Amino acid sequence: MVVAAEEGEEMEQGGIEFSYKEIGAMLFEVGKQQHLNAKRRKRIYDLVKKFDKSSRGQDPLHFEAPAPKEKLTKNDYEEAEKNAIELASSFKQEKKIARKVKSQIKKRVREAEEAVRKERGDVDVPEDEITEVKKKSGKQTSVPKVKKGKPLLKAKGVGKKQMLFQKKKGGKK
């Protein structure tokens, strides 16, 4: 290839000259071989097509978008917009309903767990009565907040002092 240089001098530029048609033909022969799998054969044939286009002076990387079969009108766009807005609002409503159902399920589960605990006679502190308390060291720990109430087992004629005395001695409540 010859390139014009300054002051009318001609300089040759290095490079390799080749024929796109011959390269395509060689690749086609390689693609015919039996030991190639279908995926590689397809790739090779795609290259053959590109080299064929290049040999005819066309751009092998040119892409033409297909022409639409139908023409959309302004009414089509307005209707699509309306449908999109309706879908968005129905989605919001369904999401709201789903949140309500989820909270109802959680409530029923809590009630069922509470009923099971009552049947077993478990005395647990509910989670809503657990609070964070700071110790003297500054660390926070979860300590149950216990409500004061009447003693569970109170015998007739037994006062508070007698109950405390029985507890200290190791007697029954």
pLDDT tens for residues 116-155? Answer: 888 887 665 555 555 565 666 666 665 555 555 554 444 4
Phi, psi of 141 (to 5 degrees): -130, 155
CA nearest 125: which of 143, 112, 138? 143
pLDDT value, residue 65? 84
Q: pTM (2 decimals)?
A: 0.32
- 51 contacts 28 by C-beta, under 8 angstroms: no
- The torsion angle over the Cα atoms of residues 19, 22, 28 and 33, rounded to 10 degrees, is -120
- 27 contacts 47 by C-beta, under 8 angstroms: yes
